[in-house]
């Protein structure tokens, strides 16, 4: 009969072994092995290293199900993220749900705190959700932050309360207050966007940039990367206007953009964000210029953007992997809580892809399985 606690599998055998087997090979007690492998105090450092080396040779892996049952504790993680644009954040949610489903047997529960979007009064929504989680019994928090001082202070408050914080998709300036950040490298995204436009325009032309007045570290770096490549590698491309809007283009925005595109006889437009603004700008471009005359680059794909790519209204989009970001964040955070296993880096860069007319059909593969 094997022990009912943690167990291991020998690398050269299918035999299921217990924590006691590691103790016997190491020549110490089971309690000493437990202290060594869970980084607890009260153990000689030399003995600890010997136990860790033995466990590694035996391919030791904790039996998380048995451990969760033995401590009879539920791990609750709070998830704070936007609702809009829904096509993007629903993929994040599906990633969360897929990871939570896999970890449910280990006692994981999630609480979803949603705020409208990274616009308008989102600061209040983020803070309200954090306050609710502080009052509850949460083990950690994943948050998509708005990089303002009140939000930074509230995240610091979580940290001071011993609640680990992970930032997702966008980061905060006081990065020391979070365990890690997972998201795309927006500096590289901006550089990639500039490279695409530079090549499509063959190194020369007049350009409009459309963005939003977002107080996020991510958008700051995205625009910085874009500007640097245009200035360094494509000096004959001129940014004639940088138009900032809110989350939707109102009538006056649409009229202003139409006038800018027409009066400057633009060669390209870079929309620093996704649908719905990208789709609205595409509609203005279609109304204002001849087909295929203007290069339009933006971000993220949904059914509407896919359709516009197929019709050659949008030239290319740069996409993150929201499903994967939600999934990996929750899995890695659970590893940190359960095993105190930190990622190799405090900044984890998500993959990005470029979609054009020719490959945009595959943009949603995989996420519809959950």
For β-strands 180-184 and 165-168, DSSP reports them as parallel
The pLDDT of residue 1 is 40
Q: What is the mean pLDDT of the chain?
A: 86
The pLDDT of residue 370 is 41
Take residue 271 and report the two structure tokens written for it.
């929309």
The pLDDT of residue 365 is 60
This prediction has a pTM of 0.78
Domain boundaries, the chain: 7-69, 73-184+323-350, 186-319
Confidence of residue 332 (pLDDT cuts 50, 70, 90): very high
Confidence check: pLDDT of 343 > 70: yes
The pLDDT of residue 17 is 59
Q: Where are the beta strands (DSSP E) in 253-321?
A: 268-271, 295-299, 316-319
The pLDDT of residue 240 is 96
Write the DSSP assignment of 124-179 as a string of letters.
HHHHHHHHHHHHTT-SEEEE----SHHHHHHHHHHHHTT--EEEESS--S-GGGSS
Read off the pLDDT of residues 113-146 as tens digits, 9 standing for 90 and up.
999 888 666 899 999 999 998 888 899 999 999 8
Take residue 209 and report the two structure tokens written for it.
């940039």
Read off the pLDDT of residues 71-84 as tens digits, 9 standing for 90 and up.
456 889 999 999 99
User: How far does Cα 218 stand from its chain's mean position?
Assistant: 11
Read off the pLDDT of residues 257-271 as tens digits, 9 standing for 90 and up.
999 998 999 999 999
The pLDDT of residue 49 is 82
Confidence check: pLDDT of 62 > 90: no
Higher-pLDDT residue of 350, 215: 350
135 exposure class (CB count in 10 Å sphere: 0-12, 13-18, 19+): exposed
Span 329-334, average pLDDT: 94
Read off the pLDDT of residues 148-199 as tens digits, 9 standing for 90 and up.
899 999 999 998 889 999 999 999 888 778 999 999 999 999 999 999 999 9
7-69 shares its CATH topology with 73-184+323-350: no
Which class is 186-319 in CATH?
alpha beta
Tell which residue, 127, 182, 136, 125, has the closest CA to residue 161.
Answer: 136
Weakest mean pLDDT among 86-95, 206-215, 300-309, 327-336: 206-215
Span 46-61, average pLDDT: 82
Evaluate whether 26 touches 54 at the Cβ level (below 8 Å): yes
DSSP β-bridge partners for residue 270: 209, 297
DSSP H/E element including 111: strand 108-115
Which class is 7-69 in CATH?
mainly alpha
**Matching residue, tokens 């996020």:** 216
Span 214-232, average pLDDT: 88
Report the share of the chain in percent with pLDDT over 70.
87
Kindly provide the b/e burial profile for residues 330-369, where b requires at least 16 CB atoms within 10 angstroms of the residue's own CB: bbbbbebbbeeeebeeeebebebeebebeebeebeeebee
Report the share of the chain in percent with pLDDT over 90.
57
Higher-pLDDT residue of 245, 80: 80
Weakest mean pLDDT among 50-64, 153-167, 206-220: 50-64
The pLDDT of residue 120 is 60
CATH architecture of 73-184+323-350: 3-Layer(aba) Sandwich (3.40)
């Amino acid at each position: 009969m094997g022990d009912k606690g943690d167990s291991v599998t020998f690398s050269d055998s299918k035999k299921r072994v217990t924590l006691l087997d590691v103790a016997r090979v190491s020549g110490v007690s089971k309690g000493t092995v437990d202290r060594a492998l869970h980084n607890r105090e009260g153990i000689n450092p030399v003995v600890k290293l010997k136990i860790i080396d033995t466990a590694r040779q035996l391919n030791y892996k904790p039996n998380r199900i048995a451990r969760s049952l033995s401590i009879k504790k539920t791990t609750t993680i709070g998830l704070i993220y936007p609702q809009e644009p829904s096509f993007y954040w629903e993929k994040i949610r599906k990633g969360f749900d897929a990871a939570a489903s896999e970890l449910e047997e280990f006692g994981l529960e999630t609480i979803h705190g949603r705020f409208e979007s990274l616009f308008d009064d989102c600061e209040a929504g983020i803070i309200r959700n954090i306050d609710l989680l502080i009052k509850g019994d949460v083990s950690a928090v994943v948050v998509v932050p708005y990089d303002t001082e009140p939000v930074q202070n509230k995240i610091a408050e979580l940290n001071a309360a011993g609640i680990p914080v992970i930032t997702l998709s966008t980061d905060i300036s006081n990065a020391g207050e979070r365990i890690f950040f997972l998201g795309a490298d927006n500096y590289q995204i901006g550089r990639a966007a500039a490279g695409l436009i530079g090549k499509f325009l063959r190194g020369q032309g007049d350009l409009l940039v459309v963005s939003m007045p977002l107080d996020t570290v991510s958008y700051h770096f995205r625009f910085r990367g874009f500007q640097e490549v245009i200035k360094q590698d494509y000096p004959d491309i001129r940014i004639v206007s940088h138009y900032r809007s809110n989350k939707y283009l109102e009538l006056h925005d649409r009229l202003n953009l139409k006038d800018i595109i027409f009066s400057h006889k633009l060669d390209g437009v870079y929309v620093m964000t996704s649908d719905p603004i990208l789709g609205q700008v595409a509609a203005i471009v279609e109304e204002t210029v001849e087909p295929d005359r203007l290069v339009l680059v933006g971000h993220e794909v949904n059914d509407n953007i896919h359709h516009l790519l197929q019709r050659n209204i949008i030239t290319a989009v740069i996409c993150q992997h929201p499903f994967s970001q939600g999934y990996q964040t929750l899995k890695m955070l659970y590893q940190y809580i359960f095993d105190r296993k930190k990622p190799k880096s405090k900044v984890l860069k998500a993959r990005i892809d470029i979609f054009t007319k020719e490959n945009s059909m595959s943009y949603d593969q995989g996420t519809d399985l959950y």
